[in-house]
Structure 1
Amino acid sequence: MSDIPPPPLKPLPMKDRISMMFIQYGQIDVVDGAFVVIDQTGIRTHIPVGSVACLMLEPGTRVSHAAVKLASTVGTLLVWVGEAGVRLYASGQPGGARADRLLYQAKLALDDDLRLKVVRKMYELRFGEAPPQRRSVEQLRGIEGARVRETYRLLAKQYGVQWNGRNYDVKDWEKGDIANQCLSAATSCLYGITEAAVLAAGYAPAVGFIHTGKPLSFVYDIADIFKFDSVVPIAFRIAGKKPHNPDREVRLACRDIFRSSHILEKIIPTIEEVLAAGEIKPPEIPPESVAPAIPNPDGLGDEGHRTK
């Protein structure tokens, strides 16, 4: 046997990955070099960890040190979520923010004039038009909130959904009506892959511009640019059908739209475009290293599917 160590693993570019996979009720481990989920009967299910942007770990999941190390090595985000993925408790950061990009992001966020330029760009990308002139970040946030509430109202009317506003309890999401349940499930999916993209680009999820003071402020900023062109209409469409299992319906629909829209190919360039609006030269981004995708066995690789 050769004593030459194998070449180091290189992360697959984010744009070439499937978006996410949900895992529930199993021990995640590395066996014979493979990333597997072992259920209560001892059956092993292989997970193509290197070709998934993030793994959503639901209650009943345990993760070994070896599995966390492998996920970090291949740049796959581990996200600990609540039942159905509608609450995000913590995430395992694969590699962390790069110092040069973190300093660049922080400088933009801490300078009032530069921050306003970035926020104005976010507004333009989100609504397809330039924001009103001579408005502060707080004023733009208020205008945005009014437009978002109106969009919710119009979508509810379009899909025949009774709508009493965005209202949910983070401690007990099932208390919310079906529309709010669907919206929570849909936005959770979007936040997961957006966080994976933010981390893959080397930025800090917590350093936001519109949203501030939360661990995922920048994730919310970027996800909001895509939300109404992707997951929010899905949530209202499914809520209008009054399905028996809305969270699963939403996850599967989000999986399909993420795949068909190639959203992961868009998020990182959008991050760069938004930050470039601050008119500070961004750190140079080296070409992504391309490694062969880990084989994807039959039946796996569908974003949003649970592995039990």
Structure 2
Amino acid sequence: MTAKEGVATGSVPSATPTEVADLARVEDRISFLYFERCSVSQADNSITVTDDRGTIRIPAATLSVLLLGPGTKISHKAMVAIGENGSTVVWVGERGVRMYAAGRPLTHSSSLLQRQAALVSNRRSRLAVARAMYQMRFPGEDTGGLTMQQLRGREGARIRNVYRRLSKETGVAWDRRAYDPDAYEDGTEINKALSAAHTCLYGVVHAVIVALGCSPGLGFVHTGHERSFVYDIADLYKAELSIPVAFRTVAEEPVDIGSAVRHAMRNVLYDFSLMDRAVRDIKALLNDDGMADLGGPEENHVGLWDEKVGEVAAGRQYGPDDGE
């Protein structure tokens, strides 16, 4: 994308904000990039990453999520470029155990967010979405009459079988999922690999959710956490994606398990087409039937809520002349 230079408030030069319609769709973007011990800045409509080996440039409009590890510095101008292009920045702790995120949606519309809030606020519709999430993990089976307790039990048994199968296939010893975020190095190699793989998955899913304008915190199965919906969506793919990557990477006995897992996840995410699949799954779960495509001019509007008709036009003065 050609960058156009403009002038921000004051005398600080900045890239002119990109029009929403010009942004790359979330499913067409780079899944994620991870950097540590470097400086991130901005040049034109790209971000630059500099360490002792040199500098690389990354077009901000093609990036979905940027994972920043320990020892990373990022400039205000870089954050502006990233935010204007609808990307998500995720700060991760040592070995990727902890995760902190900030993002900006690709869409100006709140219609999908409103749909999510309406569904999660009603007990019956929330249960329907939660059942649909479990149904996606049990294709060909009817989960419609099962309670949440029964669904959790079936899901637990499914994941235990996945662990056992992969342990047998790869020769990696497996006992149980156990890890301490404050003592990462004390965990087994497979538990460290699972943590690193899940962190990558959470980052990409978080970016998709934010890009669509949904709330990461309004979960249907998970609740009470700022990333409840992230965990909901990520759980749809763990058995196919992050868990197999963790086992197969550990079987190769790499020197740096965290780095090896991140590289393996990058390759698998591309083959898996995660972002395209996550967009379709989220919109299907929220019953997005005919909403405007992201970036369309018809969604870039602000209305006023009305308890009788739903919405009236904004940007006008209401009063006696309008019969109100």
TM-score interval, smaller chain: 0.7 to 0.9
1:91 maps onto 2:98 in alignment: no
Matches of 2:6 and 2:210, distance apart in 1: 32
1:199 maps onto 2:206 in alignment: no
What amino acid maps onto 2:42 in structure 1? V
Higher relative contact order (CA 8 A, sep 6+): 1
Query: Taking every aligned residue pair, what percent have the same amino acid on both sides?
Result: 35
> SS at the partner of 1:78?
strand
Deviations 1:33-85 (A, max 9, x none): 542123368x4332232211100010111122111111011111000001232
CA gap of 1:3–1:86, structure 2 versus 1, over 3 A, is: closer
Matches of 1:134 and 1:95, distance apart in 2: 36
> How far 1:127 sits from its partner (Å)?
2.5
Matches of 1:93 and 1:3, distance apart in 2: 23
Counterparts of residues 151-300 of structure 1 (less than 5 Å) = 151-276=162-287, 284-288=291-295
Matches of 2:170 and 2:267, distance apart in 1: 20
Matches of 1:7 and 1:209, distance apart in 2: 35
Q: Is the radius of gyration larger for structure 1 or structure 2?
A: 2
1:53 alignment partner in structure 2? 64
Checking the alignment, whether the CA contact within 8 Å between 2:88 and 2:104 is kept in structure 1 is yes
Residue among 11, 18, 21 paired with 1:8: 18
1:81 maps onto 2:92 in alignment: yes
Over aligned residue pairs, what C-alpha RMSD do you find? 2.4
2:42 alignment partner in structure 1? 30
Matches of 1:48 and 1:213, distance apart in 2: 36
Checking the alignment, whether the CA contact within 8 Å between 1:56 and 1:79 is kept in structure 2 is yes
Counterparts of residues 98-137 of structure 1 (less than 5 Å) = 98-137=109-148
Would you say how many aligned residue pairs link Structure 1 and Structure 2? 282
- TM-score using structure 2 length: 0.80
Question: Which deviates more from structure 2 when the two are superposed, residues 3-12 or residues 127-136?
Answer: 3-12
CA gap of 1:32–1:115, structure 2 versus 1, over 3 A, is: closer
Checking the alignment, whether the CA contact within 8 Å between 2:208 and 2:279 is kept in structure 1 is yes
Checking the alignment, whether the CA contact within 8 Å between 2:190 and 2:247 is kept in structure 1 is yes
What amino acid maps onto 1:15 in structure 2? E
> SS at the partner of 1:80?
strand
Question: Which deviates more from structure 2 when the two are superposed, residues 188-197 or residues 134-143?
Answer: 134-143
Matches of 1:32 and 1:288, distance apart in 2: 22
What amino acid maps onto 1:284 in structure 2? M
- TM-score using structure 1 length: 0.84
Where does the alignment leave 5 or more consecutive residues of structure 1 unmatched? 290-308
What amino acid maps onto 2:227 in structure 1? L
What amino acid maps onto 1:101 in structure 2? L
What amino acid maps onto 1:220 in structure 2? Y
Matches of 1:165 and 1:175, distance apart in 2: 14
1:69 maps onto 2:64 in alignment: no
Checking the alignment, whether the CA contact within 8 Å between 1:186 and 1:251 is kept in structure 2 is yes
CA gap of 1:70–1:112, structure 2 versus 1, over 3 A, is: same
